[in-house]
Amino acid sequence: MSTPPSPSSEPQTPWFASTVVYQVYPRSFADSDGDGVGDLPGITSRLDHLADLGVGVVWLSPVYASPQDDNGYDISDYRAVDPSFGTLADMDALIAAAHERGIKVVMDLVVNHTSDEHPWFVESTASKDSPKRDWYVWRPPREGFSAGDPGAEPTNWRSAFSGSTWQLDERTGEYYLHLFSRKQPDLNWENPEVRAAVADMMRWWLDRGVDGFRMDVINFISKRYDADGSLPDGAPWPDGGLWGDGGPFFMTGPRLHEYLAELRREVFAGREGQFLTVGEMPGITVEAAVELTDAGTGVLDMVFQFEHVNLDHGPGGKWDPQPFSLLDLKASFGRWQAGMAERGWNSLYWDNHDQPRIVSRWGDDGRWWRESATALATLLHLHRGTPYVYQGEEIGMTNLPFAAPEDYSDIEAVNHYRQAVAAGADPQALVASMARLTRDNARSGMQWDGGPNGGFTTGEPWYRVNPNASWLNVEAQRDDPASVLSHHKALIALRRDEPCVAAGDFTMLAATHPHVYAYRRATAATELLVLVAVSGEEQPLAAVAAAVAADLGDDAAAWDGAELVLGNWHDEVRSGLAPLRPWEARVLRRPATA
């Protein structure tokens, strides 16, 4: 039986507990000059949409100068805006316009690697004695092999974008490490000059007015070297294949906390203002995340963990999708909520530029599209932590149709397709099997209205716009109180206005119910009961009622009189623990019971 928390025991909540972050993928958000590629003036022209939504922070995926090998996550100049996105003046105008609307601007910090066209790397490849040689991770061929021989790569690690993580530089006869594409060489963070250069660049952006950073694969910056500086081979991947799993040797390495503490000190210490730092950390554990995000001893405000977004990845990884289980999701979210109840802080997300659209992934983008989109948003947003909304999620954008290999544009998918076909896979079957989880689903043009290209561009879009933009768009939903957009506005307002959402403790209910996600949030003053049917079938709540009695020591009937704060079935409203209709979400509130 959990007693209502007494005022003194409530952990202090950070400023970002009552706000929501909106992620913009600049290439696909809004094109102001008709060249088919989204840009900074386009984002500025749409800031009222974000203000109307009520978000407090906008995170921009990279806009820096880049050859765009990985759509900007390969940076060739950290202090320049890529001409396809605009100019530094456009960036200054965007920052000013966002601040006028009370919206903070967070940049994407991509410093595990640079582009191979960055002057640092160009100088590093010049010769083995280059002053910048040690700015990257160079190694000679594997002992007993000559450069270029099959198997001569220094380790057997597989890149996230297929193939080896090592690229031979013919000129110097050595290999450089690239955990992602060969045009994304990893920086050597062991080198204090590298860390100083990164800190200096971050200060430069803060001086321009940005309010923080989303840090790309930041837990990859500390590699786990052997005593002699070498890097060990990884265990074979379950799907067989040529390469091994290097993750244990580059994820959350021994000096990560030290490097991030140094950055916090060198970049933020003594600087006035409220800043946000969120670290993207594939493979991070709850325990490690608590240490990294503890308000007192931590070095980041929050992290992006991947446990839930890998739940439908099979043994072969994302290209081997497996059915989603709500019980697995409850177990994962339950662990992160409990793990961060006293210390640390969670980020809450379904979508981003690397994930498929949640309504298609774990919802129902057909018959129950509106209900499932709003149900899944409710389920996520009212947990303890800071929610993130990815562009288009607020209107329930869906996955794309894929009919041919040309329908894929993302380097991760294109490389996988090529490699799998070369290994004998059936091309058409591959086109179909990759569709569910490919990142391309997140990268179609934003759907602003029902006009040509969904109002994303007046030109030829760099990548497709979903044909359903004709009916699924911001304009169609703006003034509809029952729309997915209006529901997101209500959720964001509830987090801003109801302290129990920002500060309340979390109790999972009916953890073994396969189709209903139920939990309570509570402060000394208020209790919220969140009930969500994750199913196209009606869900009687007997099990939840029993759980309310068992887990809360409460009489479920006591909720009959509770206030219905938010619901997504607008015609015949039900309250209390009446059965949930398909994909129904119901949020009840009452004063805390002593």
- Catalytic machinery residues: 216, 280
Closest approach, Cβ 73 to ligand TEU, in A, equals 3
186 binds ligand TEU (CB under 6 A): no
Among 38, 56, 282, 344, binds ligand TEU (CB under 6 A): 282
393 binds ligand TEU (CB under 6 A): no
166 binds ligand TEU (CB under 6 A): no
The string over 279-309, giving b where at least 16 C-beta atoms fall within 10 Å of a residue's C-beta and e elsewhere, is bbbbbbbbebbbebbbeeebbbbbbbbbbbb
Contacts 24+ apart (CB under 8 A), 258-263: 258/222, 259/189, 259/195, 259/221, 259/222, 260/218, 260/292, 260/299, 260/300, 261/299, 262/195, 262/199, 263/195, 263/198, 263/199, 263/202, 263/299
Q: Which residues pair with 508 in a beta bridge?
A: 519
318 binds ligand TEU (CB under 6 A): yes
With CA atoms as reference, report the closest residue to 357 among 345, 369, 344, 371. 369
Lookup: tokens for 287? 């325990």
Cβ atoms of 380 and 342 closer than 8 Å: no
Q: Which residues pair with 245 in a beta bridge?
A: 235
Q: Which is nearer to ligand TEU, 352 or 386 (CB)?
A: 352
Closest approach, Cβ 137 to ligand TEU, in A, equals 16
Closest approach, Cβ 283 to ligand TEU, in A, equals 9
58 binds ligand TEU (CB under 6 A): no
Considering only residues 395 through 454, tell me which ones interact with ligand TEU, judged by CB under 6 A: 412, 439
- Could you give the C-alpha distances from 497 to 19, 113, 491, 500, in angstroms and in order? 10, 40, 10, 9
Cβ atoms of 568 and 550 closer than 8 Å: no
Please name the amino acid found at residue 90.
D
Please report how many Cα atoms fall inside a 13 Å half-sphere around the Cα of residue 251, on the Cβ side: 17
Degrees (nearest 5) of the Cα angle 551, 557, 558? 80
Closest approach, Cβ 414 to ligand TEU, in A, equals 13
Q: Which is nearer to ligand TEU, 166 or 368 (CB)?
A: 166
Closest approach, Cβ 160 to ligand TEU, in A, equals 5
End-to-end distance of the chain based on CA atoms, in angstroms?
13
Considering only residues 206 through 225, tell me which ones interact with ligand TEU, judged by CB under 6 A: 216-217
Number of residues binding to ligand TEU, judged by CB under 6 A = 14
Q: Binding string, 126-165, against ligand TEU, x = CB under 6 A?
A: ----------------------------------x-----
Closest approach, Cβ 440 to ligand TEU, in A, equals 11
Considering only residues 82 through 121, tell me which ones interact with ligand TEU, judged by CB under 6 A: 110
70 binds ligand TEU (CB under 6 A): yes
259 binds ligand TEU (CB under 6 A): no
Instruction: Fill in the DSSP letter of residue 376.
Output: H
354 binds ligand TEU (CB under 6 A): yes
73 binds ligand TEU (CB under 6 A): yes
Cβ atoms of 517 and 81 closer than 8 Å: no
180 binds ligand TEU (CB under 6 A): yes
Q: Interface residues with ligand TEU (CB under 6 A)? A: 70, 73, 110, 160, 180, 216-217, 280, 282, 318, 353-354, 412, 439
